[in-house]
Structure 1
C-alpha cells in the first residue's frame, strides 16, 4: 500500500499536508506574521507582547509564575525580560520575602503601552477575517488539544 492510499484522515498518513503538527505549525507562523506589523508599531516582538499580556493581566508576578503562565522555561523568559527592562517597559527586583525569587512588573511606560496594545486583538481579527465566535471556537479547540497533548509530551501544564 502506498502512502497516498493511507491518506484517510485518521492521522496514519505520512503526507505533509495531512499532518496535524504541520497544520498547527503553518497556522502558528501565519498568525505570528499577521501580528508582526501590529506589534512593530508598538516596538515589540511577539514573545515580548505575550510577557506584557501576562503582566497587564496579573500585575507584579514572579519570573517563575510568568514562565509557567507562558509555558516557557526560565532560560527563555529571562532574556525576554532583560530586553523589556532595557526598553524601560518592565522592572525586575528581588523579592523582599524570598531573595531567591525575582518579581517582575510593568513600569509606567509599560502601563502606557497597554492603551496602544488594546487595538491589537481587534486589528488581528480584521486582518484574518475571523469573527468573535470563530475565535472562541478555535481557541477552545486548541486548548482542548493542548490539554490532551500535554500528558503525552510528559509536560505538566
Structure 2
C-alpha cells in the first residue's frame, strides 16, 4: 500500500492539499483505474479489526487520495459497509492511546488518527449523505475529543508526545 500511496501522491507531500499539482493530477488520472481495481482490497484492510493499525491508516490514506480528485468515489466509499464506523472508531481508539509511554506507539496512533481524519474530511466534503452518516456515527465528538485530548497533560506532568 505504501507504494500506491507514494505513486498517488506523486511527490506532493504537502500536509494539506487544497489543489493538485500538475504532476499529481496526471498521475491520478493514470491511477484512477488502480484506485477502482484496488478499492475492495483497501476497504477490506480498513474495515478488518484484526489488521495492524499502520495498515488501516494506510488504507484510510489511499481512500483519501482516491477520493480527493474523483468525487464519484466519495459516495461509493462512504456507502461501503463499515467504512464510516471504522474511520470514526480509528479516531476514538487512537485518542485513547496517544499518551502511551512508548513514543513510537503514540506516534503510530497519531499518524493513524490523522489519516482517518483526512478520510473523514474528504468523504463528507460536498456529500450530504456521507455528512449525515459521519455525524450519526459520532465523528464530531470523536474529532473534538482528539483535539481536546492532545492539549492535555498526563498524570506524570508530560504533555502528549513530549520527550521525557
**Quick one: higher RCO (CA 8 Å, sep 6+), 1 or 2?**
2
TM-score by length of 1: 0.27
